[in-house]
Amino acid sequence: AAPAEQYDLLAIDTLLSSDEKDVRASVRQFCDSAVDPHVAEWFEAGDLPSIRELTKALGDLGVLGMHLDGYGCAGMSAVEYGLACLELEASDSGIRSLVSVQGSLAMYALWRWGSDEQKAEWLPRMAAGLAIGCFGLTEPDHGSDPSGLRTRARRSGADWVLSGTKTWITNGSIADVAIVWADAGEDGGIRGFVVPTDSAGFTAHPIEHKLSLRASVTSELVLDEVRLPESAALPGVTGLRGPLSCLGEARYGIVWGAMGAARTAFRTALDYSLTRQQFGRPIAGFQLTQEKLARMNQELALGTLLALHLGRLKDSSGVRPAQVSAGKLNNVGKALEICRTARTILGANGISLEYPVIRHLTNLESVLTYEGTAEIHTLTVGQALTGIPAFR
């Protein structure tokens, strides 16, 4: 491997506190031993064979809901959470997705909008990795525009009855609890419901044939007249503001995470270029390769600085949704470019799972689409700049 200063030319590390570096180091150490030796196999098999053990280990590490406080959560800063996301995604976007969905989507929904009873029932077990959560917003006919979602919640005596289908739900078929967003009509419009997955009428099926995020479980959820007590509704919010607030948290983690995937691709390409010889010299010695490495390094450094800037803002005055959109839009797009360039430096080896580059490249295709597509974030930034919404 190249010396550390070759990996961090702009000395971005000097902007981090020692506590922040400690968090980063402990997540990296975990990934080095528990994820990296296995993740290419998991990806190839399209399976996370020991997901319960892995989730428990992530709970012991303290990264599940780590930016939340109380109820067994670690209460860390946004920057510390971001650094953890970067390290997790440097190993695989699927592992970061597991942590994001658990902490930023399912746990955050409960923590921000749940009743004391809901929080006490679920958050400590979820923080410990003993219970897995999923977040069901997307439906077969409602992706980028969830405003017209069709899953219905109707009153039946003192109960709620939920019916509908959710698709592309991370962790869906292994979850213990699903946060399901449904239209409650005159009872508040779009609302969140805490659905234990052993409820009668709830089923989940894995989505097969993915060529991206293969080390991640993605599922369809079917709710067929699922009867829940009145207390199952999240009391704190009505309308799309509820799910959007959670998505804002998860997108923030992606701003950092994407730079993790990019970092792995960059380092792999740099190391490879220094040892691979063609025409009698290392391919790193060719100007065309150096141009690629310089450009990758620039974008990696700029994206990391952008993530850190948004993290510092979030920890001080807070971030606006359009700022997080700008971060996700830039960093996922740049991470994809970095992975594609790294792929070319590895030549034929670039398409092999023996190296991490093609895995990160295909994973990022999902990351580009989920949590708001690149197009939707472009329109969000456009609206913030012009004041004119161009969504419909």
- Which CB, 55 or 138, lies closer to ligand FAD? 138
Binding range to ligand FAD, per CB under 6 A, among 124-132, 137-145, 286-294, 306-314: 137-145
Which secondary structure element, helix H or strand E, spans residue 271, and what is its range? Answer: helix 241-275
Tell which one of 63, 95, 137, 228 touches ligand FAD (CB under 6 A): 137
Residues 339, 348 contacting (CB under 8 angstroms): no
Q: What are the start-end ranges of the E strands in the chain?
A: 69-70, 73-74, 133-136, 152-156, 159-170, 177-183, 190-196, 202-206, 218-228, 277-278, 281-282
Closest separation between CB of residue 330 and ligand FAD, Å?
A: 16
Residue 135 interacts with ligand FAD (CB under 6 A): yes or no? yes
CA distance 254 to 89: 9
3-state class (DSSP) for residue 69: strand
Residue 259 interacts with ligand FAD (CB under 6 A): yes or no? no
Q: 371 catalytic, yes or no? A: yes
Tokens of 284: 């790193």
Closest separation between CB of residue 166 and ligand FAD, Å?
A: 7
Residues 179, 110 contacting (CB under 8 angstroms): yes
Residue 373 interacts with ligand FAD (CB under 6 A): yes or no? yes
116: Cβ contacts below 8 Å, ≥ 6 apart: none
Tokens of 342: 């790294």
Q: What are the start-end ranges of the E strands in 252-388?
A: 277-278, 281-282
Total of residues contacting ligand FAD (CB under 6 A): 20
Binding residues among 67-106 for ligand FAD as defined by CB under 6 A = 101
Closest separation between CB of residue 14 and ligand FAD, Å?
A: 36
Task: Classify residue 154 by its DSSP letter.
Answer: E
Closest separation between CB of residue 195 and ligand FAD, Å?
A: 14
Catalytic residue among 44, 220, 371, 375: 371
> What does the per-residue mask of binding to ligand FAD show for 147-176, with x meaning CB under 6 A?
---------------------xxx------
Tokens of 293: 């490495």
Closest separation between CB of residue 75 and ligand FAD, Å?
A: 25
Binding range to ligand FAD, per CB under 6 A, among 109-117, 156-164, 191-199, 362-370: 362-370
Tokens of 364: 């990022």
Strand 152-156 to strand 159-170: parallel, antiparallel, or no bridges (unpaired)? antiparallel
Place of tokens 């679920």: 122
- Which CB, 135 or 252, lies closer to ligand FAD? 135
- Which CB, 22 or 375, lies closer to ligand FAD? 375
Residue 215 interacts with ligand FAD (CB under 6 A): yes or no? no
115: Cβ contacts below 8 Å, ≥ 6 apart: 231, 234, 235, 236
Residues 90, 81 contacting (CB under 8 angstroms): no
Quote the crossing angle between the two packed helices 357-369 and 321-345, to the nearest 10°: 150
- Which CB, 91 or 138, lies closer to ligand FAD? 138
Binding range to ligand FAD, per CB under 6 A, among 44-52, 190-198, 275-283, 370-378: 370-378
Residue 136 interacts with ligand FAD (CB under 6 A): yes or no? yes
- Which CB, 165 or 238, lies closer to ligand FAD? 165
Closest separation between CB of residue 165 and ligand FAD, Å?
A: 12
Tell which one of 143, 189, 196, 321 touches ligand FAD (CB under 6 A): 143
Residues 195, 162 contacting (CB under 8 angstroms): yes
Tell which one of 55, 77, 118, 138 touches ligand FAD (CB under 6 A): 138
Burial (Cβ within 10 Å: 0-12, 13-18, ≥19) of residue 91: buried
Q: What are the start-end ranges of the E strands in 273-386?
A: 277-278, 281-282
Tell which one of 369, 382, 383, 384 touches ligand FAD (CB under 6 A): 369
Closest separation between CB of residue 335 and ligand FAD, Å?
A: 16
Would you tell me which residues interact with ligand FAD (CB under 6 A)? 101, 135-138, 143-144, 168-170, 213, 218, 366, 369-370, 373, 375-376, 379, 391
Q: Annotated active-site positions, please?
A: 371
